[in-house]
Amino acid sequence: MRGLQLSLNKGQKLRLDRALERLESLSSKANSDASVTVADNISVDYEDAILKGHGTAEMDGRVVATLCGVVERVNKLVYVRTLRARYKPEVGDIIVGRVIEVAPKRWRLEINFSQDAVLMLSSMNLPDGIQRRRTAVDELNMRSIFEENDVICAEVRGFQHDGCLHLQARSQKYGKLKRGQLLTISPYLVKKRKQHFHYLDQYGIDLILGCNGFVWVGEHVEVKDDMVEDLSNKSEQQNVKSWNMMGDEEVEEIYTPPETRQNICRTANAIRVLSTLGFMITVEVVMEVVNLSISLDLDIHEMLGAEFYVIVAEKEAERRSMSTKRR
């Protein structure tokens, strides 16, 4: 929340400062025992064989912190989790990236990391859904699958022997993202959870919270499992689609209803407000902000006004104080 640049009048500035101070006091109370700065002592039980992890060091028989953050403990492992840090890929992370180069047998993607990621042709599902060896024809048709500036959702596979960060997209839920908006926020605002794909059925849109700080808000796309489809029905659908390639189906596919576009823009503005205020981005908080804007009868562009920022900060301070009292 530092460095917040908004054109506020005196009353709005006073209300916002009051809400931010209230939030800071609540967070400091919650993390008073866990938060550390550089050279702070970390209390550990020396009777157990502890493991010193990231952000810790041993000095004069004491375990001290080498980073500013929150002390985390997993069994005997003790480490410091930095509150504001750049994205560090881990195996299994769901990320959203943009294609910047189509190279032989691979696509190179920008994923908001210190280096680009690589998606191999052999690490993704082909459009026909058939599991087979990739041929020279597939390599020639790579640009028909993904091309430059396409937005892709994939999963982190890990660092390979060549030193590159490799991705994989072996599921139907991964692949090209169309008819939506790509937002860039600070990666530390996205918590790693079991589910990063969210379908907001009341608005008919998809929300993908990438661990790398890229967030996708777009029109809902039904995910079909080709493995359980009947082959005869699938062949019939392909034949019908080939005959109606220039018919109404193609027009319907590329057309997004105005109501869905408005829902996409409203959700994207809610994420922009939360990101500017420095609040964690979760689907629950995003939906609260969207519903708040609707209840106040605000237009989409009015969500980026100074007054709405102040209202969101006040509501968040009230919500956290209520949750603290319940505990």
pLDDT at 246 over 50: no
Look over the chain and give the mean of its residue pLDDT values, rounded to a whole number: 82
Residue 324 lies in a domain: yes
Mean pLDDT of 252-265: 84
- How much is the pLDDT for 234? 44
Q: Which residue shows structure tokens 């929150």?
A: 70
Measure the CA–CA gap between 162 and 306, rounded to whole angstroms: 48
**Co-location of 134 and 6 in the same domain:** no
From 116-120, 206-210, 220-224, 241-245, the region with the lowest mean pLDDT? 241-245
Burial degree of 198 (CB within 10 A; 0-12, 13-18, 19+): middle
pLDDT for residue 42 is more than 80? yes
Domain that holds residue 111: 85-177
Given a cut of 80, whether residue 294 has pLDDT beyond it is yes
pLDDT tens per residue, range 140-159 = 888 988 999 999 999 999 98
**Stretch 223-248: mean pLDDT, rounded?**
44
Pair (162, 199) in one structural domain = no
Domain-embedded: residue 232: no
Is 251 among the domain residues? no
CATH of the domain at 143: 2.40.50.140
Please give the full DSSP string across 143-168, using - where no structure is assigned: HHH--TT-EEEEEEEEE-TTSPEEEE
In this model, does residue 300 exceed pLDDT 60?
A: yes
**What is the rounded average pLDDT of the residues 102-123?**
91
23 and 154 belong to one structural domain: no
pLDDT, residue 27, reads 67
Q: What pLDDT is stored for residue 2 in this prediction?
A: 47
Domain assignment of residue 11, yes or no: yes
Specify whether 89 is located in the same domain as 119.
yes
User: Are 208 and 73 in the same domain?
Assistant: no
pLDDT at 205 over 80: yes
* Predicted local distance difference test score (pLDDT) of residue 135: 85
Total domains in the fold of the chain: 3
Residue after which a domain boundary falls, among 161, 177, 193? 177
Q: Are 68 and 38 in contact (CB under 8 A)?
A: yes
Q: Which of 154, 177, 200 is the last residue of a domain?
A: 177
Q: What is the pLDDT of residue 323?
A: 74
Q: Are residues 296 and 161 part of one domain?
A: no
* pLDDT of the residue at 251: 43
Residue 234 inside a domain? The answer is no
Q: How confident is the model at residue 6 (pLDDT cuts 50, 70, 90)?
A: confident
Answer yes or no: is 233 within a domain.
no
Residue 231 falls within a domain, yes or no?
A: no
Same domain, 93 and 159: yes
State pLDDT tens for residues 174-187: 989 999 999 999 99
> Does 110 lie in the same domain as 58?
no
Is there a single domain that holds both residue 96 and residue 171? yes
Q: Let me know whether 197 and 311 are in one domain.
A: yes
The pTM of this model reads 0.79
